[in-house]
Amino acid sequence: QRAVGDFVYEYSRSANPNRTNLETAVAALEHAKHGFAFASGSATTATVLSALAPGSHVISVNDVYGGTHRYLNKVAGSMGITTTFVDLADVGNLRDAVRADTRVVWIETPTNPTLRLVDIAAAAAVAHEAGLYVVVDNTFLSPYFQTPLDLGADVVVESATKYLNGHSDVIMGVAATNDDALAGKLRFLQNSLGAVPSPFDCYQAQRGLKTLHLRMRAHAANAQRVAEFLEASPLVDSVIYPGLASHPQHKLAQRQMRGFGGMVSFRIRGDGTTADRFLQRTRLFTLAESLGGVESLGELPARMTHAGLAPEERHELGISDNLIRLSVGIEDADDLVADVAQALESAVAEI
């Protein structure tokens, strides 16, 4: 400090130059006044929800990331926060779910792993009419393809572990808002709870941001190629990708998003065993739960990311045993398609 109480940076948990630079960059990308970095995406979720008073009610999209579902279902209750999981593809369901104690609407779009979309502008209009905050998890698209604050959201959150960093070497989450009062609460909670990233991780994540535009275009172009190949294959029962005209919300995707992202889900012909064989036999797609890095990954949601859901919940959400989720990387598109083709043929041949 220059003198007692005369400082720019007092304590590294509270703030430091690397984190300030990253938070400023994140805010700019999200079209926000205020940006915040946290130790993980889950820490971001926990901190944002800590701004709620006991007795608050949250309406969450039902097809939500498994970690968010776990937090809302098994952790938030101990703080007096209750949650109703609702299919928000129909915004009318949101209006029906609002209660006197509802404070927040939690949206994820596209959802994980079935890539359903929520009309952010329509949902925000309903929520704001009832005096509610709208939080949008934008992890699957990044601000390059979607800026929820421009569509009416009050807070945007992302797992920066994924596309924002993009190199699978940082664990981090971010949030951004234009609401000054809410930003003050989040800054206080960020410091008080202390779930903040290291200065070096902030440096690494800012390195990733410098190539975000290049990577996202490559992810989306490759995902489109893979999705089109899968849709044409007789070895596949169904394909889910917002960039396909067959996606039931393709028109919403065209209106709300500037690109369709790098995530593709599909149901292989067969069962969970067939899906397992496919994931064991890919050569470029690595079997792993994460997503959004430059390398291609594949996983089986029913037994991996969403294994914590009860079987009946997975059935209701369409997370069948043969549903495979692909995070399509930035490798050569022809190589990726060839890898999917050989793994499909090998896996389905043994049915």
User: Catalytic residue at 215?
Assistant: no
Strand boundaries in the chain, DSSP class E:
34-38, 57-61, 82-86, 102-108, 133-137, 155-159, 173-177, 236-240, 263-268, 286-287, 297-299, 323-327
Lookup result for tokens 């915040």: 36
User: Catalytic residue at 267?
Assistant: no
User: Catalytic residue at 95?
Assistant: no
Write down the catalytic residue from 19, 103, 116, 162.
162
Pairing of strands 173-177, 155-159: antiparallel
Write down the catalytic residue from 19, 63, 119, 137.
137
At residue 287, φ and ψ (nearest 5 deg) are -75, 110
User: Catalytic residue at 137?
Assistant: yes
Write down the catalytic residue from 19, 63, 65, 241.
65
At residue 33, φ and ψ (nearest 5 deg) are -85, -30
**CA–CA separation, 184 and 186 (whole Å):** 5
**CA–CA separation, 226 and 214 (whole Å):** 19
Which amino acid, 201?
D
Host H or E run for residue 125: helix 120-129
**CA–CA separation, 166 and 220 (whole Å):** 14
List, by residue number, the catalytic residues: 13, 65, 137, 162
